[in-house]
Copies of this chain bind each other. A is one copy, B any other.
């Protein structure tokens, strides 16, 4: 139940980032719909293909309706959204938090090991944004010297850890989601970074 809520949340906020990207590129409405849907369902689609379970939006088309509604809203309110501070990056941050936990949780549900669960959380949290940026021809966030993959890693890792400690699932989800969100939020607002590789090379 909570798992499903988190899934809808992840889809919706990633769809928002796709819609914002389309509005910045001044695309038409169908392209809006395409970008929002692609970004919204991309991460979860990869997760389900890797886990070998039916793709979630093929099984339940309500997720596609979420993307449709988000596209319409962003189409009409993108101007207002852009008056907010860094809306694309914050929506992306919420999406990373939701999907890093959700990806790890679904992997544990189907009986995979903790290492696989962490990687599933990380890859599905970052995949939607990566394809959004790649198709839009923008540099992906992964190669910026910011906490990005690390936030997804922290979210998925702390969820798996808390579950191992036997805490109630709701608590694990909320706590792990907040860990990811705070880390990514710190990167967005304060420019938090981890020490990067500094060699003689280059």
A27 / chain B contacts, CB cutoff of 8 Å? 142-143, 145, 196-197
| Total identical chains | 3
In the complex, what's the smallest C-beta–C-beta distance from A127 to chain B, in angstroms? 10
Taking a contact as CB atoms under 8 Å apart, the answer to whether B61 and A115 are in contact is: yes
A31 to B79, CA, bound (A): 33
Do most interface residues of chain A lie in helix, strand or loop, or is the interface mixed? helix
Stretch in A45-53, A162-170, A171-179 with 4+ CB within 8 Å of B: A45-53
A112 to B60, CA, bound (A): 10
Taking a contact as CB atoms under 8 Å apart, the answer to whether B31 and A199 are in contact is: no
Most buried by B among A31, A64, A122, A202: A31
Taking a contact as CB atoms under 8 Å apart, the answer to whether A52 and B50 are in contact is: no
Q: How large is the interface on A (under 10, 10 to 19, 20 to 34, 35 or more residues)?
A: 35 or more
Taking a contact as CB atoms under 8 Å apart, the answer to whether B149 and A31 are in contact is: yes
Taking a contact as CB atoms under 8 Å apart, the answer to whether B58 and A52 are in contact is: yes
A27 to B136, CA, bound (A): 23
A153 to B30, CA, bound (A): 8
A50 to B150, CA, bound (A): 29
- Other-chain contact of A142, B34, B57, B58 (Cβ < 8 Å): B34
> Is there a chain B Cβ closer than 8 Å to A109's Cβ?
no
Taking a contact as CB atoms under 8 Å apart, the answer to whether A28 and B82 are in contact is: no
A135 to B80, CA, bound (A): 31
> Is there a chain B Cβ closer than 8 Å to A85's Cβ?
no
Stretch in A1-9, A17-25, A94-102 with 4+ CB within 8 Å of B: A17-25
Q: Which 3 A-B pairs have the closest CB atoms?
A: A28-B194, A30-B150, A79-B199
* Beyond A23-B201, A135-B143, A137-B143, 4 extra complex contacts between A and B, CB < 8 Å: A22-B197, A24-B202, A26-B202, A28-B193
